[in-house]
Structure 1
């Protein structure tokens, strides 16, 4: 855990879902931050109102690292089959950085993974003015890869 005094980024969130998810991700990463090991936490909201968190787990071999969103997805699927509604991720600052936690969008790999399991998911992203908004995951992933392992997800209309 870091000794920095870092303000909770959910304080500026105007949407209740956004505030809930950003706060859950921030509480998790504030408690579990370890420089070069755990930098990001994610929170997923399901249709039953439950929030599932995941922690970024870094590795010496970059490809072996696991993103926080993947951890949250796994945590959710361990306990429920409920539809997944929304996701938020928060990056905690290194001790050498300004003490500001930031909402970060899912990386490309997580966009693909989340879309495979929850094509109707919305993601919390930062706006240029410093606020946050909910954005359809599909709009962050305009050209989804479609393989042959299972049927392609049907996009929400």
Structure 2
């Protein structure tokens, strides 16, 4: 299966997308594991996560959450970028593709890595953008201090 990062000039994008793509290519199981994610920390290490589906949708675990957890098991370094790759179902064209984090993962990642960027597809290929731009009005609670600019919370 072709690497979704092939031809990309950004070394960081190639690393994250290729790692996620290789992971899901090895671990894909129909209706069980469809997405893998790779997160890069400030020290240059890459941590991977695997989507774990469930009969009850709410019990499923996204690949991005798995990658975040894997990173936090071994480092306190800032997390700087993440990419997720979805493996095609047997009924789809045989091409893995980069997917942006779902809404829950956007919230979770920004809670734990407020400055993180994500890889997304664009008309000109893959690009890196701040995750906060995909979620401009993130929920801000009171469990712990926020490091993000929150604006008026009246």
Shift of 1:137: 0.7
Which secondary structure state, in structure 1, belongs to the residue aligned with residue 5 of structure 2?
helix
Asked if 1:22 is matched to 2:17, the reply is yes
Which secondary structure state, in structure 2, belongs to the residue aligned with residue 10 of structure 1?
coil
CA distance in 1, matches of 2:120, 2:7: 13
- Length-normalised TM-score, structure 1: 0.93
Q: Deviations over 1:88-118 (max 9, x none)?
A: 0000001111001000000000000000000
Q: Is the 8 A contact 2:40 2:46 kept in 1?
A: yes
Matches within 5 A, 1:92-111: 92-111=87-106
Shift of 1:8: 1.0
- Length-normalised TM-score, structure 2: 0.94
Shift of 1:12: 2.8
CA distance in 2, matches of 1:111, 1:153: 16
Aligned to 1:147: 141
| Contiguous gaps of at least 5 residues in structure 2 | 150-154
Shift of 1:83: 0.6
Q: How many residues align?
A: 149
Q: Which runs of 4+ in 1 moved over 4 A?
A: none
Q: CA RMSD in A?
A: 0.8
Which secondary structure state, in structure 1, belongs to the residue aligned with residue 81 of structure 2?
strand
